Amino acid sequence: MNIITTTPLRPTATDNPFESELTPYIGAFIDQLKQGRYANGTIRKYIVGIGHFARWASQSQLNLTTLDESVVIQFLDGHLPYCDCPAPTCRSYHDLRAACGHFLRILRTSGVIARPVIPASPVGNELASFDGYMRDAQGLAAKTRSGRIGIVQRFLLARFGDRQITISALQPADVRQFIADQLEQCGTISNAHALASALKAYFRYRTVCGDQVHALMGAIARPAHWDLASLPRSLSPDEIDRLLASFTAGLPSPRRGYAMVRCALDLGLRVGEVAKLKIADIDWQNGTVTLRRTKSRREDILPLPTATGQAVADYLQFERPSTTNPAVFVRCLAPHDVPIGVDAVRRVVRDAYRRIGLKHTRAHALRHTLACQLLNHGSSLKEVADVLRHRSLNTTLIYAKLDNRRLLAVALPWPGGVS
């Protein structure tokens, strides 16, 4: 029998993982960190951390094949607060968690331990089918699907738990009670809309499956909402200037943040489109940007304004780390050669708002700002819709209330005023 599968981890007294059962995998562990261009000091800390983990695992009589995330949690939460292991050792929670996470990936890649298995359950299987329907039949974005899945999961678990799902057993009272319970926890209008939309979407899916759910859908009352009732939140010219000027040299990556904001302000890009932008998408010769992974799943070509192109070029030339990744915006901290995510774009914009004292929290306000600027310079709603790449002109109608120039032309005289 393979000794790795039966013998507990046995680090030496000096806690050196190179002389333990972890030995065959330390090389791959170091190679992975070097490929991510982690600093040498960080690599050394992680190696010492794995030695610390190995000593504890040996004392706990754990076999190599039993290691997983739950064991790491036991180590961090159960052992670390009371650790009196002799030096040299690592007691940093953050460093130990990161080191163990990397090492578990190495063990899984090597086939030593199994990959995490999501236990099958009636609710899990139902949600997977519903998600596939939204993705393949409706073409919904991952974020939209995730939001609906979370709500439907809570509903099904509240009604069925781990039992088999029987749609015919659902009653309108079940739906109303679930919505009431959810709104008691968070009674906002937006949450009420989300609950109604998710449940209606799920019951429409069950209709496709052949279930009779009209009574259930009738139990879902949407909150009062009037189309175009709100005003889009946008930035004033002074706020735009202060926002752009806030990316000073003292920030960790000011050129990258400045280029991101310019892409949103000048091109109207969504945060996901900024994060997914590739170097090959920019045609410097013709001054265009091709968006290949848009919300509407279309390919759009936009003109590249000079200021935006200069901001991106400055970042690429003077600040972007050396990397083989084709994305325009990449991580500046290890692991390198990895593009940024959507949350990173939101965080950059949110921090910029905070620096200039704005209460805005959504990066989408930059997209609204572009629409308002276009209207103020005489563009029509159709032209705004084209720039923002709206599928329907109805989506753009919200900006009609901000078109002061045209609103003045149709304004009636004030009663009793001079005509």
* Each residue's pLDDT expressed in tens, for the chain with a length of 419 residues: 333 333 444 444 344 544 567 777 888 888 888 888 888 889 999 999 998 998 888 888 888 888 888 899 999 999 988 888 888 788 899 999 999 999 999 988 888 888 776 667 899 899 999 999 999 988 888 888 999 999 999 999 999 988 999 999 999 999 999 999 998 888 788 888 899 999 999 999 999 999 999 999 999 987 766 555 555 677 888 999 999 999 999 898 999 999 999 999 999 898 889 999 999 999 999 999 998 866 656 778 889 999 999 999 999 999 998 888 899 999 888 888 888 888 899 999 999 999 999 887 788 888 888 888 887 777 777 777 777 777 665 566 565 555 555 544 544 566 665 54
Q: Which domains does the chain have, with CATH numbers?
A: 3-109 (no CATH), 122-216 (1.10.150), 237-406 (1.10.443.10)
Asked whether the bond before 88 is cis by omega within 30 degrees of 0, the reply is yes
Distance in angstroms (rounded) separating the CA atoms of residues 10 and 23: 10
Provide the 10 A C-beta neighbour count for residue 312. 26
Residue 41 has which token pair?
């000091």
Q: How many CB atoms lie within 10 A of CB 289?
A: 22
pLDDT number for residue 97: 93
- 111 Cα distance to chain centroid: 30
CA distance 125 to 146: 15
Q: What is the pLDDT of residue 319?
A: 93
**Edge-to-edge strand list for the sheet holding 300-303:** 282-283, 288-291, 300-303
Q: What is the pLDDT of residue 7?
A: 40
Rounded CA-CA distance 373/402 in Å is 10
Residue 231 pLDDT: 56
Evaluate the CA torsion angle 66, 69, 70, 72 in order and state its sign.
Answer: positive
Asked if 145 and 134 touch (Cβ cutoff 8 Å), the reply is yes
CA dist., res. 20 & res. 17, Å (int): 5
DSSP element (H, E) containing 345: helix 342-355
| Residue 260 in tokens | 């991101």
